[in-house]
Structure 1
Amino acid sequence: MCETSVLIEKYLQGELTKAERQKLMEWVLAKEENRVFFKNRIREYDRNCSTDFDHEAAFLKFSGAITTKKSKKRIPFHIFRYAAVFAILLASAIFVKSHFLDNPQPTDNRVTKEQPIFPDKEGIVLKLDDGSTQEIDSESDGLVQDAQGNVIANKDKNQLTFDSKAETEKTRVRFNELYVPNGQRFKVKLSDGTWVWLNSGSKLRFPQHFARGSKSREVFLEGEAFFDVTKNAQKPFIVTAENINIKVLGTRFNLSAYGTDDAIATTLVEGAVNVYEIKTPKNRTRLSPSYQANFNKSTKSLGKQKVNTSLYTAWMQNKLIINDLTFPEILKKLERTHNVTFINKAPHLNAAVFQGEFHNESVESILKTIALSTPFSYKIEQNRITILK
């Protein structure tokens, strides 16, 4: 028996070492015939694997056996079921792991969803200080003008650039709002040179020009954005998200502050930031690169931890990272990224916790892959998806 066959057999028996798993993965990804051979061997081993998946997408089930383990201390009522799927999707791989509790907490079957700010508009909307609104076409170039015909920004497909001139000290600061709906992303360059990438379902309130005499540069965020802040030691850059401030001089960080989420997360990639509650500015948490500050909305507590920042910025590359998320949390993310609405009629899934990665995949492709490890069915009716038992 050749070495590859030995590795496959060891994998099927759950006996692969970390090094052997990596070697097998490299072999599977090397050639199309390797993927076909591996898929057929998996199907021979596990007759329960679905056969109606798209072969061109090359879904491969890496583990069909589900084992049940009790904790070493045999704590009553805490039995976990472990299942693993390692699926290769074109040139990318996903690992899905689920844990189940015997007594999941009952939850509402409708996923909590942010309400659209402009329900009569489907695209990206820019609301100017004068109250007028413009729907931004992310596929075309052009100039953005206010109600008086004054050019206020240049548009280059999916990004806006505001000119760098500053307001005079006597001029009132004019705030604009940029709203990016679910299923879309957008990029804006502020008048000080700061770049902001806005994720799906987000709104940024910002001055058309930063005032010349102000002591700071302030913007307001609802949703998620990545900031690449232009350094100005005399004017710190402050982002307000609900009752939290993030104060920087010049840095790069991701801020997730969706209204329906339980926490506000600030993840620092480069530089330094101070995070604090608006009412207690002296009680601030200072972050260095690769650290994340989490503000728990329920307990009003602010903590920090070291993280892999790429997990929290992957959305900028159209990647969906699932890092120990429950099934309802995954559905909430999919609602934002794919502009769909979920009805979850499978409460037994709510206690499952998953890990995995998808790159630019359809919502149906993602659901199919997750269902490999945790079987469920679903029904799609336009942009409404019902999860069934």
Structure 2
Amino acid sequence: MSQHSNKKFDKNSVTDLEKELLKKSIFTSIKKLKAKKRLKYFTTSAAAVIVMALGVGLYLKLQSKTSEISNFVKSTDVKSIENTNNVKLIIANDKNVKIDGENTSISYSKTGSKVNIGNSQTLTQDTNNQNTTKYNTLVVPFGKRSSLTLADGSKVWLNSGSKFVYPVNFSKESNRVVYLVEGEAAFDVAHNPKKPFIMMTENQEIEVLGTVFNVSNYSDDTNNFVVLKSGSVQVSYPEKHNSILNQKKKIIIKPGQMANINKATKLVTAKRVNTDHYFSWKDGVLILDNSNLNYITKKLSRYYNIAITIDDEQLKKQTFSGHLDLKDAVEKVIETIIEAGTAENLNYKITNNNLILTNKTH
């Protein structure tokens, strides 16, 4: 029978070589454990970075398109283009085309290479350069209106005193981005869920998929507004005191609502409105609901391209409700307001293309 030793373990009996091997074994185990933890952390972090990169990529792609058209508007100084007596279309190579008529219509082929003006004129332009987006500009002076069919089939109606910039076509990979530099426009956007339609002004971005809405962006108005008739619209606008990363606030409006932005304070409010009042100008009708004379004359001045002056402060506050047929002469429209009885002290005279409204009692 063998006998077992009862001696205690003597650490001094372990050789230096054995100590070194034991030390290496312990350190190897620790390294493997740390490597596993690092791999798990790296995998999680990498996934987060990939998701973030995709989001940033999409954001930068959109920003690239909106910045591109904004840069075009600034570099060509569209806002300073002088109004003439005719609608002006500026196509490739800065070619200016004057279009006669109070209500003009323009339509583009799918490639944007052919431009039909009314039923009698067709223009061609080069759209082969794939590296840069080509833009056209439509300038509608006061006293004129124009309708436009874009290359994607979207329809735009431009009111008097409007300046509008848009791509000659919409490339496969990009969003559809247009820019209302000045004035008022109504849109009926062709539905395309893969390519949102973005309508820009200096103070806001309006993103839609397929919808009907109206935008007002006159420089002499204190407010810009968007009125939605159908579909869905997201309105983005800059915060007054926050320029970091060009951050913007967003508001979504529903059919029958107006988003109103104060250009000075950047305050945005939303309310329900009668949308017919904001689209009737397309048909040559101005619908008013307890509107004051100061507001009415500003609308008429743009539509008829005539200066209108109210020489009495009390008259400016008088209100009118009803329909004004803008196909009538401006004198007839003023007489309609007088005959309605709500502005019974109103009188007018025309001097050197200036219509002056006076108070009969003075």
Q: Could you say which TM-score interval applies, normalised by the shorter chain? A: 0.5 to 0.7
CA distance in 2: counterparts of 1:248 and 1:281, whole angstroms:
20
Question: 5+ unaligned residues in a row in structure 2: which ranges?
Answer: 1-78, 240-245
Runs of 4+ in 1 over 6 A off after TM superposition: 139-145, 158-163, 165-168
Instruction: Report the equivalent of 1:137.
Output: 100
Aligned length: 267
Instruction: Report the equivalent of 1:70.
Output: none
- How high is the sequence identity, in percent, across the aligned residues? 34
Q: How does 1:1-389 map to 2 (within 5 A)?
A: 117-119=81-83, 121-138=84-101, 152-156=114-118, 170-214=130-174, 216-221=175-180, 222-278=182-238, 283-359=249-325, 360-371=327-338, 372-374=341-343, 375-381=345-351, 383-389=353-359
For the aligned residues, what is the CA RMSD? 3.2
Contact 1:166/1:210 (8 A) holds in 2? no
CA distance in 2: counterparts of 1:200 and 1:229, whole angstroms:
21
3-state SS of the aligned residue for 1:130?
helix
CA distance in 1: counterparts of 2:346 and 2:104, whole angstroms:
44
CA distance in 1: counterparts of 2:238 and 2:128, whole angstroms:
26
Structure number with higher relative contact order (C-alpha < 8 Å, ≥ 6 residues apart): 1
The 3 A distance-change label for structure 1 pair 294 and 162 is: farther
The 3 A distance-change label for structure 1 pair 139 and 337 is: closer
CA distance in 2: counterparts of 1:192 and 1:248, whole angstroms:
14
Larger of the two Rg values belongs to structure: 2
Alpha-carbon deviation of 1:233? 1.7
AA aligned opposite 2:353:
N
3-state SS of the aligned residue for 2:261?
strand
CA distance in 1: counterparts of 2:212 and 2:353, whole angstroms:
35
CA distance in 2: counterparts of 1:323 and 1:257, whole angstroms:
21
TM-score (norm 2): 0.66
Contact 2:106/2:117 (8 A) holds in 1? yes
AA aligned opposite 1:367:
I
CA distance in 1: counterparts of 2:151 and 2:307, whole angstroms:
36
